[in-house]
Amino acid sequence: MNRLRGLGVPVALFLGVVVVALLSTTGPAAVERLAVTGLVNLVLVIGLYVFVGNSGVWSFGHMSFALVGGYVAGLLALAARLKDQLLPDAPELVRELTAPPFVAVLVGGLVAALVAAVVAVPLSRIGGLAAGLATVSLLIALSVVAAQWQSVTRGQKGLSSIPTSTTMWVALAWVLVALLSAWGYQRSSFGVRLRASKSDEVAASAAGISVSVQRGVAFVLSGFLTGIGGALFALQLGSINPDVFYLDATFLIITMLVLGGAASLTGAVTGSIVVSVLAEVLRRTEGGSLFGLDVPARPGLADVVLGVVLVMMLLRAPSGITGGRELGTPRRRNHARATVTGTGLEPISVAGAPSSPVPHREDRP
């Protein structure tokens, strides 16, 4: 019963997302397509949150897993006859192996998780700025591989003619999977141990917690969900190239997480919705239209405003819009301010989890 009651937060968040998504269907078809893109971005934000929100270690290269998931799903979704034309020099297995959309997305996430598992071995042993720089190196390396592996990825031209299958309902279904996965993880013994190390890594290690192992588990799950998001995007757009998940996408997803509140799942969802709406309004303004009115075109306005908003939020409310709290959690009087440097994300007391830095005896490994 306690576990069922504990699902109230992700279910409530999902219902809120469903309401926003359904409202978009009342407008033009273009608005609905943007809503689907917003849902895919939400999966990516949740994927990043699983690692960052629980470990307190920032990753600036998570879009590399989205790139892997997107290419794998795209290759599996392409018909064999099309791959013979587009990728004549690809290995026989790549040209002949096909899968339905659901399997393609799932395999894309699994391959991304496999890459994350390999990277997690050295990455989980470092933290702070060093970890962030290491993940950036991963993003650059995989982008270069995608741009140069002509026989499989077609280089800078990318994959095209991918059958599109990411609809509103498909995206919503995967958002629900991501929400339940992230919530279940942070309430599990793995999540509790990792959150304990966020406040005091030395004390957590002294309590018997293997911080590197816990970070590795979170990193792999995070890579899986991020790969799912990349796969959904490839099957929505119908094409993918090395630049799709690079610096612009990285900045957007991190902005969503920071503005909402990187220390809570509620913050991840809130930030994703707010930034998606704000970014669309700014893009329309860039093109000279705002709520049906003609305004002076301002190219580049969206990036500038989002950057300014991000800086102001870091200065005035580093814990984000939600203050690092989950839905329905009352504000604590001695609520410490969080930072986004090093491992300074604020620990959260979640239902069923200890609020102190060191877990209780029964939560120790």
pLDDT value at 293 more than 70: no
**230/251 same-domain check:** no
Q: What pTM did the predictor assign?
A: 0.86
How many structural domains does the chain have? 2
pLDDT value at 51 more than 70: yes
Query: Where residue 310 falls among pLDDT bands split at 50, 70, 90?
Result: confident
Cα–Cα–Cα angle for 125, 114, 272, rounded to 5 degrees? 80
**134/31 same-domain check:** yes
**What count of other Cβ atoms lies within 10 Å of the Cβ of residue 70?**
32
Report if residue 269 sits inside a domain: yes
Report if residue 355 sits inside a domain: no
pLDDT score for 189? 92
pLDDT value at 358 more than 60: no
Q: Above pLDDT 90, what percent of the chain?
A: 54
Query: Where residue 277 falls among pLDDT bands split at 50, 70, 90?
Result: confident
pLDDT score for 147? 93
**220/293 same-domain check:** no
Which ranges constitute the DSSP H helices of the chain? 2-6, 8-24, 29-55, 63-77, 80-86, 92-96, 101-123, 128-148, 150-153, 168-187, 189-199, 201-206, 211-237, 247-260, 265-286, 301-316
Which ranges constitute the DSSP H helices of 56-188? 63-77, 80-86, 92-96, 101-123, 128-148, 150-153, 168-187
Among 197, 213, 242, residue at a domain's last position: 242
For the packed helices 211-237 and 189-199, what is the interaxial angle rounded to 10 degrees? Answer: 110
**196/306 same-domain check:** no
Amino acid at the residue 339: T
